[in-house]
Amino acid sequence: MSTGADAVAPRLRELSSAVLAATSVVDVVDAFLVAARGLVGVDQVHLVEVSQDAAVGHARVVAYEAGGRREDAYVMVLDERPSGTTRVVQTGEALIVAEARGSGFLRPDYTERFGARSVMFLPLAWGGEVRWVAVLIRARPEPYADEQVELGQLIADQAAAGLALIESHERRESHADRDAALTRAAAALNASLDLGTVLRTLTLEADLAVSGSMAGVYLGDGVTGGRATAGHNTPPEWEGYLMKPGEGVGGQVLKTGRSVITNAYQQDVKLPENPIATALQTAVAVPISWDGELRGALSIGFTSMRRVTPTDLRTLEAFADLASVACRNAEAFQAASRLDALTGVLDHGALEAALAEALRGDEPVACLVIDLDGFDAINERDGHRHGDDVLRRVAGVITRECGELSLVGRFGGDQFAAALVRESGETAGRIRSALVAELGVEASVGVAEADAALGAAELLDRALGAARAAKRAGGGRVQTA
C-alpha cells in the first residue's frame, strides 16, 4: 500500500471535509472507518466508546473480509485484566503492539476471538478525557510502520475534533431546549390539580430536555420501594409497577437518597422484573424530596450509551424539584378537600377514615362525640354569623384539649367528634368544662371505647348514642356508652 504524499493528502482532505460536514456522531465514526482502512491498512477497526466513569466500553466492530464488510458489537469491562483499551484510557497515550499473542497487553480470549496479531490502540480525547479508543487490528503478523502510526494518530485526532464539535453543537442547542422544557413543565403546575396529569407532563419534558429514550417517576421510599406513577415512552403495564429498593437506578436512589448514573445498565444494575429495562444501556435517576423526606425518584433511560453531564444532572434535579412541588401541592389540596370548610377540622368522612387507620394500630382508641346544648338559641338570638364564629371557637377548644395525638372532626351541624389514643373520660370532662368557662356553651359528651369487634363507623355511632343519652338526661354531662 502506498502511503506517499500523493496518496495520503487526498484521503486526509476527505476525512477533514467529512468531519467538518458531519451532523452526528455516526457521520464522524463512518468517516474515520474509511480513513483508517485506506491510510493505515487494517483488517478490523474497533471503535470503543468509553463510559464517563471509565468502567466500561461499548465497542462497534467493523471487519473487512474477502466476502465484504462485517459488523459486530460488544461491551467490555475496563478492569485490572490485560487490556490495551484500558491502558490507553488510563494513560491517554497510543499503544502499539507488534505481536498480540503472548504480549501481555491483550487478553488471550480477545486475541483469539478477533484473530488479532498487530494492533494499534489510539485515544480519541478532548476536554482532558479519553472519550473513545480506536483499535486498529491486523490479522497478519505485520507490524505497523512509524509512518502508519503517525497517520493513525493524525486521523484519530481529526475524528476526536469532529466528535468534540458535534458535542459542543448539541450542548448549545440543548440549552434553549432545556429552558423551554423547564418553562413548559413549570406552567403545568398551574394548569391542573390532578397529580397524574402534572407528573406525566413533567416526565415528558424531562425526557425531551436530555434526549432520553424513556422517563418515569416512582413515588415511595427506601423501605417499601417506589410505585411507578407517571411515565413517558413507557408501556401501559409499566404504571403501577413496584420498583424495589436497590432495583434499577430508581430503586438505588430510593435506597441511598443520592443521584445515580450508570453507563452499563445491563451489567451494573439489579434489573427490574419489568421487561422495559432490557433495552437500556445508560440510565440516570435523581431523588424527589419534600418536607425534608425522600419521597421518590425521577428516572431517565437511554437505549444507547450517553454521557450524563453535570448540566444534565442539574436539569433533572430541577425537574425533580418541580415534581416535589406538584406532589406537595397535591397533598395540600387533598388535605384541604377533606377539611370542614367552616371550622378547619376534619369533615365527617375524613374523620371516619382517619379513625379506621387509628384502629389498625396497637394503641387503645376511644371516641368522643360533643353535641352542643342549646345551639339553635344562639343562632336565633345572635344570628348565624355569630353562630359560625362560636363553632370555629368550639373546634379550637376541642382540638387544644384533645392534644396532638388526637383526631378532631365536625360530625355535622353543632356536633363534633374526636378520636383519642389515650384515656378519654378525663378529656371529655375537660372539654365540657372549657366550653362552659371560655365560651359559655354547654355540651353533652358521649364516650365510646374501641374493642376488636367495632369498626370506625360503629364506634362513632356508639359515641353518638351516648351523647344523645346525655342530652336526654338534661345535657351538660359526660355519658359513657
Check whether 336 has a pLDDT greater than 80.
Answer: no
Tens of pLDDT, residue by residue over 358-369, are: 887 777 888 999
Looking at the chain, how many residues does it have? 481
Strands 225-232 and 242-243: antiparallel
Rounded CA-CA distance 309/306 in Å is 9
**8 A C-beta contact, residue 258 and residue 246:** no
Short-list 228, 289, 279, 234, CA closest to 256: 289
**8 A C-beta contact, residue 287 and residue 294:** yes
- CATH no. for 348-480: 3.30.70.270
Q: Which of 235-239, 252-256, 274-278 has the highest mean pLDDT?
A: 252-256
Section 39-48 average pLDDT = 91
Tens of pLDDT, residue by residue over 119-164, are: 999 999 998 899 999 999 999 889 999 999 999 999 999 999 999 9
Could you tell me where in the chain the CATH 3.30.70.270 domains are found?
Answer: 348-480
Check whether 372 has a pLDDT greater than 90.
Answer: yes
Tens of pLDDT, residue by residue over 415-426, are: 999 988 766 778
Q: Is 381 exposed, middle or buried (0-12, 13-18, 19+ CB in 10 A)?
A: exposed
Q: Which of 172-176, 225-229, 343-347 has the highest mean pLDDT?
A: 225-229
Beta-carbon-side half-sphere exposure of residue 252 (alpha carbons within 13 Å): 18
Bridge partner residues of 60 (DSSP): 47, 73
Helices marked H in 195-309 — which ranges?
195-209, 248-256, 265-268
The architecture that CATH gives domain 5-169 is 2-Layer Sandwich (3.30)
**Topology given in CATH for the domain delimited by 192-336:** Beta-Lactamase (3.30.450)
Banded model confidence at residue 356, pLDDT cuts 50, 70, 90? confident
C-alpha Rg value of the chain to the nearest Å:
35
What is the share, in percent, of the chain residues with pLDDT greater than 70?
Answer: 96
Tens of pLDDT, residue by residue over 282-331, are: 999 999 998 888 999 999 999 988 888 888 999 999 999 999 988 887 77
Rounded CA-CA distance 286/306 in Å is 16
Rounded CA-CA distance 154/173 in Å is 29
Tens of pLDDT, residue by residue over 440-480, are: 999 999 999 888 778 888 999 999 999 999 999 999 999 99
Bridge partner residues of 409 (DSSP): 346, 417
What's the pLDDT at 445? 96
Share the mean pLDDT of the chain.
88
Rounded CA-CA distance 176/218 in Å is 28
What is the share, in percent, of the chain residues with pLDDT greater than 90?
Answer: 51
Section 36-60 average pLDDT = 89
Rounded CA-CA distance 192/200 in Å is 11
Check whether 190 has a pLDDT greater than 80.
Answer: no
Check whether 3 has a pLDDT greater than 60.
Answer: no
- For 29-146, strand residue ranges (E) read 44-50, 56-65, 68-77, 95-97, 118-126, 129-138
Could you tell me where in the chain the CATH 3.30.450.40 domains are found?
Answer: 5-169, 192-336
Tens of pLDDT, residue by residue over 379-433, are: 888 888 899 999 999 999 999 998 876 889 998 889 999 988 766 778 999 999 9
Short-list 165, 76, 169, 85, CA closest to 132: 85
